[in-house]
């Protein structure tokens, strides 16, 4: 496989993971998987959350793709693209951890962005946490963040329609 093809697969896999993560966050974590995700939306002083268990699924996806691409595991049936898909998933996991756990929730470093895309990511995810419970909400992605003003309007519409209950400090 050419280096260009490998890099293209890594990039496509990375961005595909944002769609997979968005869908899993909206329909699983805020749906039937709320039991694991709930503590992420509640204040606590623990280092780990049940929500952290979801990272195991991303890791399993990456490891599985690496295994499919490995001649040591698959022998002659190895699919080289699997290695590069696994690399894209791994890169997404690292970026997710740095942005979501690091930048937004400041679990292992403290930095408050004053502008640019980093500030937009923090604002969008804070608006995601503006609701009480699993219903309603905005900004289910982790790397791609919509305009915070549009998200505030969407939250206000959800509140007016009775879909979302906002935290008192987050009235839009």
Per-residue DSSP letters for 14-41?
HHHHHHHHHHIIIIIIIIITHHHHGGGG
Report how far residue 111's alpha carbon sits from residue 115's, in angstroms, rounded to the nearest whole number: 12
Compute the average pLDDT of residues 103-131: 93
- pLDDT at residue 172, as a whole number: 45
SS3 165: strand
pLDDT tens digits along 63-73: 999 999 999 99
* pTM of structure: 0.90
Which DSSP state fits 115? S
The answer to whether residue 49 scores a pLDDT higher than 50 is yes
The answer to whether residue 59 scores a pLDDT higher than 50 is yes
Cβ contacts of residue 144 below 8 Å, gap of 6+? 18
Compute the average pLDDT of residues 4-8: 97
pLDDT tens digits along 95-106: 999 999 999 999
């Amino acid at each position: 496989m050419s280096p260009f093809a490998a890099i293209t697969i890594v990039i496509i896999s990375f961005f595909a993971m944002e769609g997979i993560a968005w869908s899993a966050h909206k329909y699983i974590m805020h749906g039937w998987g709320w039991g694991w995700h709930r503590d992420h939306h509640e204040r606590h002083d623990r280092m780990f959350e049940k929500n952290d268990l979801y990272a195991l699924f991303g890791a399993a996806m990456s490891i599985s793709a690496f295994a499919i691409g490995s001649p040591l595991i698959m022998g002659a049936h190895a699919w080289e693209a699997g290695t590069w898909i696994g690399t894209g998933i791994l890169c997404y996991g690292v970026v997710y951890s740095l942005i979501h756990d690091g930048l937004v929730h400041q679990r292992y470093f403290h930095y408050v962005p004053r502008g640019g895309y980093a500030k937009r990511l923090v604002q969008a995810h804070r608006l995601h946490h503006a609701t009480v419970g699993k219903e309603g909400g905005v900004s289910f992605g982790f790397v791609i963040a919509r305009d915070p003003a549009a998200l505030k309007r969407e939250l206000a519409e959800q509140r007016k329609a009775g879909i979302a209950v906002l935290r008192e400090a987050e009235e839009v």
